[in-house]
Structure 1
Amino acid sequence: MLMKILILTDRLDIGGAETHIALLAQKLSEEGHAVTVASSGGAIAERLKDLRIAHTSMPLGTHSPIRWLILRQKIRNLIKQEGFDIAHAHARVPALLIHGVGRLGCAEIVTVHAKFRAGLLRRLFSKWGERSIAVSEDLRTYLHTVYGIPMQRICVIPNGIDLSEFHSHEHHEPRNAFRILFASRLDADCSRGAELLCEIAPTLAKSIPNLCITIAGGGKKMPEIAKRATKINHTLGFSCISVCGTVQDMPSLFQEQDLFVGVSRAALEAAACGCSVILCGNEGYGGILSGENFWQESLSNFCARGSQKPTAERLRDDILLLAGSPALCLENASACRKLLEKCYDSASVCHKTLDVYQKSLHVPLRGTLVIGGYFGCGNLGDDAILQAFIEYTRRHYPDMRIFALTKHPLRDARRFGVKCYDRKNPFSLAHVFLLSDAFLCGGGSLLQNLTGKLSLYYYLCMLRLAKLCGALPILFAAGIGPLRGRRARQATQKTLARCTYISLRDEDSLRFLQMQKLDSAKLHLGADMALLLPIPPVFRTYTLLKRIDVEQNRRYLCVSLKSGKHTSDSHRTVIAALRMLCREEDLLPIFLPLDESDIPINAGAAELLGGRVMFADEASDITAILRGAQLLISMRLHGLILATTVALPAVGIPTASDQKIPSFCRLAAQECLLPEEMTVAALVEVCQTLCAKGDARRPLIATAFCDLQKNAQKDLANIALMVYNKDRYFKKSEDRI
């Protein structure tokens, strides 16, 4: 679907964020979308005109509240007049000015390129759109901790590099000089690298023959740095430092250099052109950029935030090391270029941004779904189901409105970005069912009475109430049982017989309902919705490992222990096996509590074994940690499901009454140790086999995952079709319970 997109920023002078905005506008335009950029102008604004991209001049960098009101109305009039589908702000003031344009049918997106000052008034007047984009993982965490934006509403999309423009020379000519480049705005907040180069230039000149340092960029500190460079050149007796101001043709300048000193986007562009890179900026010193520390530095958008302070001694030593090791320079440049091609290509960044746009579009509604289950109750597995359902439905069925029944409606509405209702308030339930076309009861093992009798009848009553209120009752990606007692089975059979569609996530549940003589046309083998949860970017893995103090190259395995009755024997067996396994395989155990009740047992085991505990902010954090693990040992079904999404070999450990874990392990090509098989020796043997042959097992798991994912997608397609044609399946005046 082609869209009309309005991109807003305060200015378009030479800079990393501004270059990203221009490149994004260019790529979106090449994809066929109608793009208009609004800003106060600048050098890059002229470049947009050459690309035939519309530019509207607005003083969006103003801090006058009166002018804000005028600009806000001007933007609203522009959106009404042009019919924009997306308003995408790239600075704090434009983000405030587009707040509320969702009422005009225009989605609000905000990209955050840097940290802002965060006083009380500034936080109060900061608006972050319906969805927020952070250019690095540390900014995602910053938005969550400082401004309280739920993690689920923030995605990370790095600044893209046009690798067709920024590339190394195919034929390198011999150079008789060692060339160093610093490129950035020369203002007080970003000129530290240039100042340090000036400070160490006399020392470097004694050790490096024909040293040539170029400082590019304009700003308030440029005259001071130029004056200092002239003085150094006079002392040395030759032109060592050249201050050239703003440069338009940056690719050619990068291609002439051996080494780049700086941060952020310019560092990536230099690496793409074959330069060695030293990350040195006002916010920190990251050192020599290589394949080994590339992902670690990506967490701060290559700004070295949180790293050691930049000093003349550190910079001097690293420059001398690279100047004396041409082979190391080539190795680092080649490794960084390959990693840039993997995640930072501008075309890939454009497609990721378009995906955010698609999920945020305001389109005419054709149906309303309400989904209810055990959401918002502190279980990450159930929250993974809801998050995946919302993400997938918004991407593929944007004309569907979604409501959710949760424990904490206000909190969960902010977390998941949909309107939520109290799952235990009968008036709220009746109200939302009257507004909806279909009620999806699921996923998870909701229809069981092992953990309590009331929960079974609660969900059965919800299905009956939904039909009474005119919503299609649908059992969605559910597991059935255990059901103890004849009355419980009869009540379940009678209620499900009146459901419009029954989707089951495992074959055992399907066979059970077939034995209850339900209409086979209603029964469908689906899959757990958590299988559709988007895989987080690789940067997230490094962010989370850093948070729990795990070294970058440390080998680890993940463990998810479950609390509850009849689990203490399994806990003792797992802990004893882990003690042996971690010693023999040199693995660090990372414990992943998937439910609030699991925290004490996992924390205690981690302390006992010298491991780590990862308290996830959202379900996708679990996926991110699992992506880098050697294997998973899990007593929770959704641990196994999330491991399967990243093709991680896993061992399921069910309790005696738990049939869902063995059933899923059979479908997903994962290992399972039943209670009667569970011994320390057996668990160690299975885990060691998976460690040794894990790479051979991954393709089997990936194939099984694709099949399961197709079942989940088919379920949603069938449900969407029923909602679009609701009158064929159900008439409000007939067939009431």
Structure 2
Amino acid sequence: MAAGEGPVVAISGYYGFDNLGDEAVLYSLLEALREVCPTVRPVVLSHAPERTSALYGVEAVNRWRVGEVYRALTRADLLLSGGGSLLQDVTGLKSLVYYLGVVWLARRLGKPVVFYAQGIGPVKSKTGRLLMRLVANDVQLITVRDENSARDLAEMGVTRPPVEVTADPVLGLDPARADREKGMEILERMGILEPPVSSDQGDKLPDQGDNSRPLDKGGTVPGEGGAVYGTPAPVVGVSVREWPGFGEKQQRDLARVCDDLCRRGYRVLFIPLQYPEDLTVSRQVAAMMRERAAVLDRGLTVGEAVSLVACLELLIGMRLHSLILAAVMGVLPVGISYDPKIDRFLEQLGLQPAGQAAGLEYGALSRAVEGVLADPAGFRASLARMVGPLRERARATARLAGALMEVGGRKSEVRTID
């Protein structure tokens, strides 16, 4: 390494798959690293290296080509594994083996490794738990995004490296970075800000036959939240995904809640966070509504997503990072859980999910939405109090990783972030 060059940091995660949540993690991670060490030279292991390189101004290599990964690790000063929910076997053992395999290779090459704000588990198989114990006990530092992840590691016998509980990297984003004008442009292109056409003026879908109490007609005055964010009417974002058990009944109950919101003067926009995978189910739920809603029919960059979410009043989300972005931007979050990571994040905010995706019910979701809309200003103030410490913990992850960066045998120049 030439004198004066910064440390080479290899980054392994679920990058290049057009999953907006993981792309937001990478965006936030890179921003935090550059703030701590301006001379850092990231090398991202990506499914789509050319796109990753163009989006973030970094070097990227193909994560599936062993030779490229080997060469990247050989010249790296440090490997960051994360963030995200990499170390789990719910989606299959192959994924866990891949990410642990990259860590194992880095350690065989004598490189220090940091688990960067990982969300651990679930790891249910005996093989997976054994691999976790063998590989994770050999890394230099583990940072996890919640207390439950630290407990999961301890239960699997991971005890040797120090474990620091920090927070998801996306929580470290500065909300001032949001470009609300850009968000407004997206809303305008979608036609979401046009006056709504009530179902009373047109054809109606058949009644769903549920006598549960609809959303209270009181609470937020329509347009009040929109005025805060510069929109002529408040906009509700909805982020859903395919999941076993989240079927027609559950989707219809969600659609009914969205209809209730429309009748109170809100606009509803479905936002597929993983595009195009989330597009089909988003369209299905929108088609079940009696009122007009819009479905975003293209992928977003991280910057666009941040700017769009910043213009919302409320976000009903299944995707973890839809809820995290909402919390960071001061947008009212209502979570629908399909995985423990949703419950864990909401717990950090002092909240509970409105229900499980497979058992979602109209009444419970309606009450959860009404609960946040009854006093939006008070809810936002409480949200800000909870997010503030999480933001500082997220930024601390980069400082901890920075302490392990070495250049030519010397510690790299690392800035302290107050």
TM-score norm. by structure 2 comes to 0.82
- Which runs of 5 or more structure 1 residues have no equivalent in the other structure? 1-362, 730-737
Tell me if the contact between 1:441 and 1:459 (Cα under 8 Å) persists in the aligned partners.
yes
Output the CA distance in 1 between the equivalents of 2:178 and 2:266: 24
Shift in Å, 1:600: 1.0
Tell me if the contact between 2:32 and 2:398 (Cα under 8 Å) persists in the aligned partners.
no
- Map Cα deviations across residues 539-563 of structure 1 (whole Å, 9 max, x no partner): 1222111121132402221100111
Shift in Å, 1:479: 1.1
Which one scores higher on RCO, CA 8 angstroms, separation ≥ 6?
2
Match of 1:572 in 2: 252
Tell me if the contact between 1:464 and 1:495 (Cα under 8 Å) persists in the aligned partners.
yes
Structure 1 counterpart SS, 2:134: helix
Match of 2:345 in 1: 664
Output the CA distance in 1 between the equivalents of 2:336 and 2:314: 14
Match of 1:449 in 2: 89
| 1:638 aligns to 2:321 (yes or no) | yes
Match of 1:561 in 2: 240
Match of 2:178 in 1: 536
Tell me if the contact between 1:501 and 1:523 (Cα under 8 Å) persists in the aligned partners.
yes
Structure 2 counterpart SS, 1:420: strand
Q: Which runs of 4+ in 1 moved over 6 A?
A: none
Output the CA distance in 2 between the equivalents of 1:570 and 1:533: 33
Output the CA distance in 2 between the equivalents of 1:544 and 1:413: 25
Q: How many residues align?
A: 364
Output the CA distance in 2 between the equivalents of 1:372 and 1:659: 23
Shift in Å, 1:653: 0.7
| 1:430 aligns to 2:70 (yes or no) | yes
- Map Cα deviations across residues 613-634 of structure 1 (whole Å, 9 max, x no partner): 2334212322222222221110
Output the CA distance in 2 between the equivalents of 1:636 and 1:446: 15
Tell me if the contact between 1:533 and 1:620 (Cα under 8 Å) persists in the aligned partners.
no
1:582 pairs with 262, 274, 278, which one?
262
Match of 2:13 in 1: 373
Match of 1:617 in 2: 300
Tell me if the contact between 2:237 and 2:314 (Cα under 8 Å) persists in the aligned partners.
yes
Shift in Å, 1:390: 1.6
Tell me if the contact between 2:315 and 2:333 (Cα under 8 Å) persists in the aligned partners.
yes
Structure 1 counterpart SS, 2:374: helix
Match of 1:704 in 2: 386
Shift in Å, 1:393: 2.1
Match of 1:604 in 2: 284
Shift in Å, 1:685: 1.5
Output the CA distance in 1 between the equivalents of 2:169 and 2:371: 30
Amino acid at match of 1:447: L
Output the CA distance in 2 between the equivalents of 1:677 and 1:409: 39
Amino acid at match of 1:588: R
Output the CA distance in 2 between the equivalents of 1:519 and 1:632: 38
Shift in Å, 1:672: 1.4
Amino acid at match of 2:105: L
Tell me if the contact between 1:650 and 1:670 (Cα under 8 Å) persists in the aligned partners.
no
Match of 1:723 in 2: 405
- RMSD between aligned residues: 2.1
Amino acid at match of 2:179: P
Tell me if the contact between 1:592 and 1:622 (Cα under 8 Å) persists in the aligned partners.
no
Shift in Å, 1:538: 2.3
Match of 2:134 in 1: 494
Shift in Å, 1:461: 0.6
Shift in Å, 1:376: 0.8
Output the CA distance in 1 between the equivalents of 2:44 and 2:27: 11
1:507 pairs with 139, 147, 159, which one?
147
Shift in Å, 1:506: 1.4
Tell me if the contact between 1:560 and 1:636 (Cα under 8 Å) persists in the aligned partners.
yes
| 1:484 aligns to 2:124 (yes or no) | yes
2:159 pairs with 499, 516, 519, which one?
519
Match of 1:654 in 2: 337
Shift in Å, 1:570: 3.5
Structure 1 counterpart SS, 2:29: helix
